[in-house]
């Protein structure tokens, strides 16, 4: 390892991505995490009640997530994202039992909208031309200010897609962030929007290989170490205060703060951060999907939104879940299973289940909250910010978190 030490506070995906970038360039890295383990919100654990390893949520990635693939390639885990060879998105409407599949073609020229078998039912090719207005610069505007948030195309494709990506009521969400997601995936053709799921779980794909990689390169990970305070000088920071020890920063040493926004604002004076969050509710059921069931199924008209099929387990994700996050867990399990059973033709009898609630899963992706996101560079020359809540140009996603870590790493290394 060469150069002065770079301290990274927070070992979620942003912190891990920053550490990986720096370590592979030969920089000296020390990583601190308040929790007993790395991963942050990207975590997996053995659930004794459920009887197997589960994730806190189902994090869908797309093949156009270039930063994510670069990170996984660096840590030797590129093969741990699994998915189909073509872009097919299956849907089921619980109100009328109607099924359909949206299937973008692989190339950039979107000829799939000309095919009734590939496009959203009850839409015409001309309906998709209206999306051009969403792909323009729409700073400060909501999605509903730019396109009509009604009709089959909206209800059966755009709304569920944007809700999953933005974790915010899509009509109220930032048109700028919605545009960024569509430009990098759907607008580039099916090759860039192949659905991908971490296999066998989030920790095995994103966290454990990164920790092993960092260890091999001599980077230090200190878990159970919570940063209590930062000592600020006029243009730099000079020390980090932990519970029982203090680190004085030497000449040329720097810090990447990769903690949740509400922690960052308590440590750094005068920074602006998003201050309204959106919830996500996930449900896991010990039940097998029927043969031939899609690995991912969009639910329309129910409480469930996406159902993911794993070996002997079905998992449900509900984004923008503020209206239901405080409901009784058993009640949630029953109502969500009703949608799953209907979609997959399973018994209505409730199987073993687990509910996972994330009340502050992401910042609310509205124009006003997006405007509060700070850049990676601060007014202190040796302090940099990372996290999906910083100004990445994307909503709060795994791709955004990893990009933020890589950006902060470049700045800290003088790039």
Walk me through the domains of the chain, giving residue ranges and CATH numbers. Answer: 2-44+202-275+366-412 (3.50.50.60), 103-114+121-193 (no CATH), 277-363 (3.90.660.20)
In sequence order, the 6+-apart residues with CB closer than 8 A to the CB of 302 are 94, 95, 338, 339, 342
The predicted model gives 339-366 an average pLDDT of 97
Cβ-count burial of 36 within 10 angstroms (0-12 exposed, 13-18 middle, 19+ buried)? exposed
Question: Please, what is the Cα angle at 66 between 61 and 70, to 5 degrees?
Answer: 105
What is the chain's mean pLDDT, rounded?
A: 95
The predicted model gives 165-171 an average pLDDT of 97
- End-to-end CA separation in angstroms for the chain: 17
**Which among 128, 54, 119, 114 is positioned nearest to 88, based on CA atoms?**
119
- Per residue in 355-376, pLDDT tens? 999 999 999 999 999 999 999 9
Per-residue pLDDT for 115 more than 80? yes
Per-residue pLDDT for 415 more than 70? no
Bridge partners for 256 per DSSP: 8, 384
Per-residue pLDDT for 12 more than 70? yes
Predicted confidence band of residue 2 (pLDDT cuts 50, 70, 90): low
What one-character DSSP code corresponds to residue 399? H
**Which among 220, 266, 269 is positioned nearest to 8, based on CA atoms?**
220
pTM of the predicted protein model: 0.96
pLDDT of residue 50: 75
Torsion (CA) 372, 57, 31, 389 in degrees, nearest 10: -10
**Which among 296, 283, 301, 267 is positioned nearest to 159, based on CA atoms?**
301
Lowest mean pLDDT among 25-34, 50-59, 379-388: 50-59
**Which among 237, 300, 294 is positioned nearest to 269, based on CA atoms?**
237
Predicted confidence band of residue 410 (pLDDT cuts 50, 70, 90): very high
Q: What would the two tokens of residue 313 be?
A: 């387990």
In sequence order, the 6+-apart residues with CB closer than 8 A to the CB of 172 are 142, 143, 144, 366
pLDDT of residue 184: 93
Predicted confidence band of residue 1 (pLDDT cuts 50, 70, 90): low
- Per residue in 53-96, pLDDT tens? 888 888 889 999 999 999 999 999 999 999 999 999 999 999 99
pLDDT of residue 53: 87
State the sign of the Cα–Cα–Cα–Cα dihedral 42, 392, 194, 364. positive
- Per residue in 211-234, pLDDT tens? 999 999 999 999 999 999 999 999
Lowest mean pLDDT among 93-102, 180-189, 396-405: 180-189
159-166 and 175-184 helices cross at what angle (nearest 10)?
100
Predicted confidence band of residue 385 (pLDDT cuts 50, 70, 90): very high
Contact 33, 42 (CB under 8 A): no
13-24 and 208-216 helices cross at what angle (nearest 10)?
30
Give percent of the chain with pLDDT exceeding 70.
99
In sequence order, the 6+-apart residues with CB closer than 8 A to the CB of 175 are 134, 138, 141, 142, 143, 145, 146, 367
């Amino acid at each position: 390892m060469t150069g002065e030490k770079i301290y990274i506070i927070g070992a979620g995906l942003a912190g891990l991505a920053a550490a990986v970038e720096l370590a592979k360039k030969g920089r000296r890295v020390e990583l601190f995490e308040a929790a007993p383990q790395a991963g942050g919100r990207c975590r997996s654990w053995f659930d004794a009640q459920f009887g197997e390893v589960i994730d806190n949520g189902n994090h869908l990635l797309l093949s156009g997530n270039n930063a994510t693939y670069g990170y996984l390639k660096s840590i030797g885990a590129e093969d741990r994202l699994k998915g189909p060879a073509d872009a097919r998105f299956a849907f089921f409407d619980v109100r009328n039992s109607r099924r359909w599949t949206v299937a973008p073609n692989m190339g950039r020229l979107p000829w799939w909208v000309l095919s009734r078998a590939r496009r959203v039912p009850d839409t015409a090719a001309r309906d998709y031309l209206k999306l051009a207005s969403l792909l323009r610069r729409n700073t400060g505007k909501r999605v509903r200010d730019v396109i009509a948030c009604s009709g089959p195309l909206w209800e059966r494709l755009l709304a569920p897609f944007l809700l999953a990506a933005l974790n915010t009521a899509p009509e109220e969400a930032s048109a700028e962030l919605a545009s960024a997601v569509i430009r990098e995936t759907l607008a580039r053709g099916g090759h860039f929007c192949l659905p991908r799921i971490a296999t066998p779980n989030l920790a095995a794909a994103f966290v454990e290989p990164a920790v092993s990689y960092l260890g091999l390169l001599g980077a230090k990970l200190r878990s159970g170490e919570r940063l209590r305070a930062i000592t600020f000088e006029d243009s730099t920071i000079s020390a980090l205060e932990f519970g029982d020890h203090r680190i004085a920063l030497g000449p040329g040493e720097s810090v990447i703060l990769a903690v949740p926004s509400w922690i960052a604002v308590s440590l750094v004076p005068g920074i602006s951060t998003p201050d309204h969050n959106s919830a996500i509710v996930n449900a896991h059921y010990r039940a097998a999907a029927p043969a031939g069931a899609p690995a991912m199924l969009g639910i329309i008209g129910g409480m469930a939104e996406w159902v993911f099929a794993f070996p002997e387990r079905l998992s449900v994700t509900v984004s923008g879940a503020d209206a239901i996050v405080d409901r009784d867990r058993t009640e949630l399990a029953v109502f969500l299973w009703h949608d799953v059973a209907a979609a997959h033709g399973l018994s209505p009898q409730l199987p073993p289940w687990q509910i996972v609630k994330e009340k502050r899963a992401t910042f609310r992706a509205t124009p006003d909250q997006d405007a509060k996101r700070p850049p990676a560079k601060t007014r202190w020359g040796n302090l940099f910010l990372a996290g999906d809540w910083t100004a990445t140009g994307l909503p709060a996603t795994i791709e955004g978190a990893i990009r933020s870590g890589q950006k902060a790493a470049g700045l800290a290394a003088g790039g």
